[in-house]
Copies of this chain bind each other. A is one copy, B any other.
Amino acid sequence: MTEPSTLPIYRQIAEQIAEEIESGELPAEAPIASERELAEMFGISRMTARAAINILVQRGILVRRNRSRAYVAQPKFRFDLSSPGGLHEQLRKAGVRPGAKIIVAEKLPFDALEPKVVDALKLTPAEAVFHIVRLRTANDEPIAVEDSYFPERLFPDLLDFHLTDSIYGILKKYFSVEPAGSLQELEISLLDAEWAEIMEVPVDLPTLEIRRCAVTADNTPFEYAHDIYRGDRLIFTARTVGPDTLFPSQLRQSPPNP
Q: What is A's interface to B at a CB cutoff of 8 Å?
A: 2, 55, 58-59, 80-86, 178-190, 193, 204, 206, 208, 212, 214, 231, 235-248, 251, 256-257
Q: Are A240 and B81 also in contact (CB < 8 A) when A188-B208, A206-B231, A248-B245 are? A: yes
What are 6 contact pairs spanning A and B, CB under 8 A? A81-B186, A181-B244, A183-B241, A184-B239, A188-B236, A248-B248
Nearest B residue (CB) for A206: B206
Q: Shortest CB–CB separation between residue A179 and chain B, in angstroms?
A: 5
Instruction: Give Cα distance in the complex from A184 to B181, angstroms.
Output: 18
Contact of A236 among B179, B186, B257 (CB under 8 A): B186
Residues of chain B within 8 A (CB-CB) of A244 are 84, 178-181
Asked if B184 and A186 make an inter-chain contact with CB atoms under 8 angstroms apart, the answer reads no
Nearest B residue (CB) for A194: B2
Asked if B58 and A238 make an inter-chain contact with CB atoms under 8 angstroms apart, the answer reads no
Q: Shortest CB–CB separation between residue A72 and chain B, in angstroms?
A: 17
* A180, A184, A235, A241 — most chain B CB neighbours (10 Å): A241
Asked if A187 and B237 make an inter-chain contact with CB atoms under 8 angstroms apart, the answer reads yes
